[in-house]
Structure 1
Amino acid sequence: MDIKTLYDANINNITVAKNAYDALFTAFGQHIESWQHEVVDRLTNSHWTGTASGHAHARIQFLGTELQAAKQELGLISKALSDAAEGIAAAQSHLISALDDAKTNKMTVAPDGRITWDNDPNSANYAGDKADATAQAISARITAALTEADHADQTISARLGHLSTNATNGTGLDAATAKSDQDAANALSRIPAAGTDPNSVKTWWNSLTDAQQQRMILTDHDKVGALDGIPAVARNQANLINLQRGKEDLQRQLDGLGPEPKKYLSVAEANGGAAQNPAYTEWKRKYDALKDKLKGVDAIEDRLSKPVDADHPPTYLLGFDTKGTGRAIIAVNNPDTADNVSTYVPGTGARVGASLAGDIERSDLMVASANAANKKAGDPSTTSSITWVGYEAPQSIVPEAAWDGFAKAAEKDLHNFETGLRATHEGKASNNTILAHSYGTTTVGYTLRDKGLPVDNVVLIASPGAGVEHARDLGVDPSHVFAAQGDKDAIKFALPEDPDNAVSNIVNNAAAEFGYTDNPDHHVAFGRDPSVPQFGARIIPTDPGTDHSGYWAKNSASLIAMGQAIAGKPIS
């Protein structure tokens, strides 16, 4: 698609063709009704019997089925032409808008898209001192419009080509074929159900024109934003709407709580003793939860609104809702175009709340660390790090984090998300890493063990166990499994849910600590400690004094090593 072709495209001609098919569809339907009345009904009422009659009735019934199938196919051609007109018109509008802005800014756009302007400050046609940046922005818009038109052209051409082939070879007269074609057309306006295979979702999304995609984003933003297999840019657009709606809903709930009740009951109300007011206790619980979620929303908005610079690459909101403890998926850099893609899964306490700001910052730090590793190696590769608070994480160490139910419940969602990253990635396959901290490593380990993940590297930081005895049990090359545990990290004392196993762990680990056994199992809460040699992972170095939250300290050995692992570089 080129500028002149799109600019000169006569959308009215497509509309005229669509209207002609509508007229043909109506006339064909009327002919079928006439045939039914004049032929089928007369024959049925003729009382003709016998072998010849049976054959005639069967043939006529078959012919009626063929006519209905043909009518259905005609209707599908009309719908395809309608979608074509909408898609090309939208792209044409975007192109004209860009060209008008170029003219307003005293720039000339050549047929091949090159933009020129007058650089002489003394000239009446001087384009200004920011002309270069303006030209780049307009050029990007022109390219996007042409890409949009090309996508619409290819999508509609494929649909019309299929229907044309059906008409040519007669398969369009088959009722099953017509039904299949109708189902496919209907599917274009139906968003796949949550949990649908991301590769199928991507195929469906690609079958829509850009105009149809934008309509889906605006009308079904809650579904589009949560669906794995839809590209990052589209999910971000949908989730920005979800974020705003979610924030408004949280504020409405907060306002709906009403004024703060009195904190304590009177002596009379408490039957002679001082007591906290139950109404206040419940009000305060709800108030604190809503305020905390609003802090999480603020953290997302703050990061999304930061000007793009070396320390703050562009961000994409890949998921958001406020149900339960809330879900938020924030990507630093676009994972669909990055060479290295890392998903960071936080652990206990992860939620849409005040803690979210720190989790997002960790992704920023890991991107910077991976960039430093690439720069040192002379590698121009790009990196995206995604903070995945896409599950209900435990919110307390005891009792919640001692239970593996949160990890098991997250398996399907994490598997689908990682599969979706593969489905939507553009060009050469990216080098994908799943990196987790604390209980997040249990979530990741269980998913790898039970469902598998399409990742190249696994990084387990401060793990209470990943549900397996050895790195090879994760389904990834053990040489690409990394683990770290700081010398001041109390996670090494994490006890299992089963008290009998807890006693065994304590005895065995103590024996290993003091050299009383040559074959320690080093079990923690959910399996063997990934940071011990027996597990078989490659060890990420940590600085002396590293505690449970200290792995992301700037310039720390652990942060440097995480960046190297994400970038696919040797750990130094």
Structure 2
Amino acid sequence: MDIKTLYDANINNITTAKNAFDALYSAFGRHIESWQHEVADRLSNSHWTGTAANHAQARIQFLGTELQSAHSELDFVSKALAKAAEQFALAQAHLVYALDDAKAAKLNVATDGTITWDKEPTSANYAGAGAETTAIAISNRITAALNEAAHADQEISARLNHFATNASNGTGLDAATVAKDQAAETAREQIPPAGTDPASVKSWWDGLTDAEQQKFIHDHPDQVGNLDGVPATARDQANRINLQRGKQDLQHQLDGLGPEPSKYLNRAETNGGPVENPEYSAWKKKHDDLTDKLKGVKSIEDRLNTKVDDDHPPTFLLGFDTKGHGHAIIAVNNPDTADNVSTYVPGTGARVGSSLRSDIERSDLMVASANKANKKAGDPSTSSSITWVGYDAPQSIIPEAADDTYAKNAEDKLKSFENGLHATHRGKIANNTILAHSYGTTTVGYTMRDKGLPVDNVVLIASPGCGVEHAKDLGIDPSRVYAAQSDGDSIGWADAADPKGMGKNVRDYYAEIWGVGNHYTGVDTHGVHVGGIDTDNHMIHGRQTTVPEFGAHILPTNPKGDHSDYWNDDSPTLPAMGEIIAGKPVS
């Protein structure tokens, strides 16, 4: 598709053809009605009986089915032409508006799309100091309009060729063929339900015209934005709408709470003792939840609206809702085009709330770390890191984080999301990593154990156990399983629950500190044999991932680092994470 072809296209000709098929459809329908009345009904009421009569009536009924099938096929052609006219008109309008804006900006657009302008400040046609920026924006709009028209051209050609083939070989007279065509037409007008295989979703999306895609995005952003298999750019567009609607709804609910009730009941009602007012307790719980969610929305908005530069790659909102504690999926760089893709699953406390800002920042840090690893290796590959708060995470250490139900309930969601990344990626993902922290490692481990994940690497940071006894049980090469846990991380003992009892874990912990106990030998990430105290602990959700018996590669840590310090500037774990995401050896 080129500028002249689209600009000069007479869309009315498509509409005329559509109208002609409408007239043919209507006339054919009238002929079917006449045939039914004059032939089929008369024969049925003729009282003609016998073998010949039975054969004749069967043939007449079959012919009636063929006529109805042909009638339906004519309707499909008419609808296809109507869609084509709509899409071509939209693409043409986008082109015309871009060309008009170019003319107003004193830019000259050649037939091949090249844009030039007068750069002499004293000239009457001087385009101004910002001409180059304007020219780039208009060039992108022109390209988008041409791509839009080309997509429509391919789509209408394929559909019309299909119906023409049906007509030429007679399959269009078959009721089963018509039923399939009707199902295809219906599918185009319906969004696949949540849980549909992402590859099927991607096929459905690619079969839509740009106009149809935009209609679904604007009419049903909540469904499109959270549907695995829809490309990242479309999900981002839909979820930005969801974000604003969610923000307005949260603010409306907050405003509707009314004034704060008295914190304590009247002394007369409590015999003089201070008793908290149940109305206040309910009000405060809702108030704090809504206020925290609005902080989470603000964190998302701030990152989405950050000016793109070398230190702040573009972000894409791949999922958002405020149900329960809220869910959000934010990608740093486009995962559909990045060479290396990593999904980060946070743990306890993950939600659309004040904690979301730090989770997003971690994705920024991991992309920056991966970029450093690539730069050091002279590799131009690009990396994307996705913060996946797509599940209902536990919100308290006790008792919620001790319950594996949250991990089990997340399995299908996480698997679908990862499959969706592969379905929408433009080409094969070069290196795919799943990286998790704290209870997030439990979620990832359970999913890999029970469902399997299409990833190349798994990184388990500060894990309370991931549901398996050995790295090989995660369903990938154990040499691609990495784990980290700082000596200063309290998760190493506070939440331990060895089958032999909590006491054994506590004794092992202090035995390691004091240098006494049964010694083990293991291998670190460099293949070097190391020794230490036998601390084969079992955490709440499985064997500790950093003991030799688990079999993971151990990443370097800051010995004094606490549970959330692995992304700090002084942490050696962050560079290691970047190297894994970039597909480089851990140094």
Which residue in 2 is equivalent to 1:547?
562
Give the deviation of 1:419 after TM superposition: 0.5
Instruction: Please state if 1:265 is matched with 2:280.
Output: no
Give the deviation of 1:271 after TM superposition: 2.5
Give the deviation of 1:501 after TM superposition: 5.7
Identify which range, 271-280 or 112-121, moves more after superposition. 271-280
Which residue in 2 is equivalent to 1:127?
127
Which residue in 2 is equivalent to 1:515?
517
For the residues of structure 1 that align with 2:507 and 2:159, how far apart are their CA atoms?
A: 68
Which residue in 1 is equivalent to 2:576?
561
Give the deviation of 1:134 after TM superposition: 1.4
Query: Residue type of the partner of 1:92?
Result: Q
Which residue in 1 is equivalent to 2:37?
37
CA contact (8 A) 1:509 1:523 kept: no
For the residues of structure 2 that align with 1:291 and 1:153, how far apart are their CA atoms?
A: 49
Instruction: Please state if 1:53 is matched with 2:76.
Output: no
Identify which range, 309-318 or 41-50, moves more after superposition. 309-318
CA contact (8 A) 1:439 1:463 kept: yes
Which runs of structure 1 show a deviation greater than 3 angstroms over 4 or more consecutive aligned residues? 494-514, 516-521
1:455-496 alpha-carbon deviations (Å, 9 max, x no partner): 111111111111111111111122221111111001112546
Which residue in 2 is equivalent to 1:463?
463
Identify which range, 264-273 or 542-551, moves more after superposition. 264-273
Q: State how 1:137-536 maps to structure 2 within 5 Å.
A: 137-493=137-493, 495=495, 502=502, 514-516=516-518, 521-536=536-551
For the residues of structure 1 that align with 2:200 and 2:494, how far apart are their CA atoms?
A: 41
CA contact (8 A) 1:465 1:527 kept: yes
Cα 1:238–1:404, aligned 2, differ >3 Å: closer, same or farther? same
Which residue in 1 is equivalent to 2:531?
none
For the residues of structure 1 that align with 2:507 and 2:486, how far apart are their CA atoms?
A: 22
For the residues of structure 2 that align with 1:198 and 1:450, how far apart are their CA atoms?
A: 19
Q: Which secondary structure state, in structure 2, belongs to the residue aligned with residue 454 of structure 1?
A: coil
Cα 1:260–1:62, aligned 2, differ >3 Å: closer, same or farther? same
Q: Which secondary structure state, in structure 2, belongs to the residue aligned with residue 543 of structure 1?
A: coil
Which residue in 2 is equivalent to 1:27?
27
1:133-191 alpha-carbon deviations (Å, 9 max, x no partner): 21111111111111111111111211111111111110111101101100100110100
Identify which range, 208-217 or 513-522, moves more after superposition. 513-522
Cα 1:49–1:496, aligned 2, differ >3 Å: closer, same or farther? farther
CA contact (8 A) 2:345 2:387 kept: yes
For the residues of structure 2 that align with 1:531 and 1:517, how far apart are their CA atoms?
A: 15
Q: Which secondary structure state, in structure 2, belongs to the residue aligned with residue 265 of structure 1?
A: coil
For the residues of structure 2 that align with 1:119 and 1:517, how far apart are their CA atoms?
A: 77
Q: Which secondary structure state, in structure 1, belongs to the residue aligned with residue 268 of structure 2?
A: coil
CA contact (8 A) 1:509 1:521 kept: no
For the residues of structure 2 that align with 1:124 and 1:88, how far apart are their CA atoms?
A: 36
CA contact (8 A) 1:496 1:526 kept: no
TM-score by length of 2: 0.95
For the residues of structure 1 that align with 2:479 and 2:290, how far apart are their CA atoms?
A: 44
Q: State how 1:65-80 maps to structure 2 within 5 Å.
A: 65-80=65-80
CA contact (8 A) 2:493 2:509 kept: no
1:38-90 alpha-carbon deviations (Å, 9 max, x no partner): 00011011100011001001101111111111111111111111111111111
Query: Residue type of the partner of 2:291?
Result: K
For the residues of structure 2 that align with 1:262 and 1:107, how far apart are their CA atoms?
A: 66
Identify which range, 136-145 or 394-403, moves more after superposition. 136-145
For the residues of structure 1 that align with 2:230 and 2:556, how far apart are their CA atoms?
A: 37
CA contact (8 A) 2:499 2:538 kept: no
Gaps of 5+ in 1: none
Give the deviation of 1:506 after TM superposition: 5.4
1:517-536 alpha-carbon deviations (Å, 9 max, x no partner): 75753321211111222222
Cα 1:507–1:557, aligned 2, differ >3 Å: closer, same or farther? closer
CA RMSD after TM alignment = 1.7
Q: Which secondary structure state, in structure 2, belongs to the residue aligned with residue 459 of structure 1?
A: strand
1:404-461 alpha-carbon deviations (Å, 9 max, x no partner): 0000000000000010010111134342111100000010011111111111111111
CA contact (8 A) 1:509 1:522 kept: no
For the residues of structure 2 that align with 1:182 and 1:164, how far apart are their CA atoms?
A: 16
Identify which range, 107-116 or 518-527, moves more after superposition. 518-527
How many percent identity over aligned positions?
70
